Amino acid sequence: NAGVTQTPKFQVLKTGQSMTLQCAQDMNHNSMYWYRQDPGMGLRLIYYSASEGTTDKGEVPNGYNVSRLNKREFSLRLESAAPSQTSVYFCASSGRTALPTSYEQYFGPGTRLTVT
**Alpha-carbon separation of residue 87 from 33, 54, 63, 84, 116 (angstroms):** 16, 25, 13, 8, 12
- Find out whether 54 and 32 touch, Cβ atoms under 8 Å: no
- Residue 74 contacts other proteins per CB under 8 A: no
- Residue 8 contacts other proteins per CB under 8 A: no
Q: Which of 9, 12, 56, 69 binds other proteins (CB under 8 A)?
A: 56
How distant is the alpha carbon of residue 9 from its chain centre? 13
Residues numbered 24-53 forming contacts with other proteins, rule: CB under 8 A: 31, 33, 40-45, 48, 50
Number of residues in contact with other proteins under rule CB under 8 A: 27
- Residue 101 contacts other proteins per CB under 8 A: yes
**Alpha-carbon separation of residue 38 from 68, 88, 110 (angstroms):** 24, 7, 12
- Residue 20 contacts other proteins per CB under 8 A: no
Q: Which of 7, 20, 97, 116 binds other proteins (CB under 8 A)?
A: 97
* Secondary structure (3-state) at 70: coil
Q: Which residues bind other proteins (CB under 8 A)?
A: 31, 33, 40-45, 48, 50, 56, 58, 90, 92, 96-97, 99-102, 104-110
